[in-house]
């Protein structure tokens, strides 16, 4: 009888010792980016780029009004610009904006 009680006690003890590791903690993990959050980030980048260009006194006023669009952090610039130096200045200013991964330069020199 003593042996049976010992076996039962050992079985109960073994059953209560769960060796399964606890699930990982997700407290410090970043939430997955959704399409909405990416589009929101692109909108913010576009706004910051436009703000940067409008504030850049090295650019002539008409050259500050190039078209700006952003997709997945890639900024596309288009429009007519008066000189290659102004195009270079615009691209340099845009690259400095946080969140810009790359610039797709579609600007052209104006014929005037």
Q: Does residue 87 belong to any structural domain of this protein?
A: yes
pLDDT band, residue 8 (cuts 50/70/90) = low
Domain with 94 in it: 39-112
Query: In 1-112, which ranges are continuous DSSP H helix?
Result: 2-16, 35-55, 84-95
For the domain that residue 109 is a member of, what is the CATH number? Answer: 3.30.1340.30
Q: Does residue 51 belong to any structural domain of this protein?
A: yes
Q: Does residue 9 belong to any structural domain of this protein?
A: no
Mean pLDDT of the chain: 79
CA distance between the termini of the chain: 107
- What confidence score (pLDDT) does residue 80 get? 95
Span of 8-12, 46-50, 103-107 with lowest mean pLDDT:
8-12
Q: Does residue 50 belong to any structural domain of this protein?
A: yes
Whether the predicted pLDDT of 102 surpasses 80: yes
Q: What does the DSSP assignment read for 43-57? A: HHHHHHHHHHHHH-T
Report the predicted TM-score, pTM, of the whole model to 2 decimal places. Answer: 0.65
Q: Does residue 33 belong to any structural domain of this protein?
A: no
Q: What is the dihedral of CA 10, 12, 17, 19, to 10 degrees?
A: 90
How many residues does this entry show for the chain?
A: 112
In the sheet that holds 102-109, the strands lie side by side as 67-71, 74-81, 102-109
For the chain, what is the domain count?
Answer: 1
Q: Does residue 57 belong to any structural domain of this protein?
A: yes
């Amino acid at each position: 009888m003593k042996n049976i009680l010992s076996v039962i006690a050992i079985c109960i003890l073994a059953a209560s010792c769960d060796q399964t590791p606890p699930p990982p903690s997700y407290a410090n993990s970043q939430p997955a980016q959704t399409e909405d959050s990416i589009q929101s980030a692109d909108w913010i980048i576009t706004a910051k780029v436009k703000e940067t260009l409008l504030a850049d006194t090295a650019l002539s006023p008409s050259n500050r009004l190039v078209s700006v669009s952003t997709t997945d952090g890639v900024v596309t610039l288009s429009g007519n610009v008066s000189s290659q130096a102004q195009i270079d200045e615009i691209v340099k200013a845009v690259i400095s904006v946080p969140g810009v991964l790359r610039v797709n330069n579609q600007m052209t020199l104006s014929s005037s």
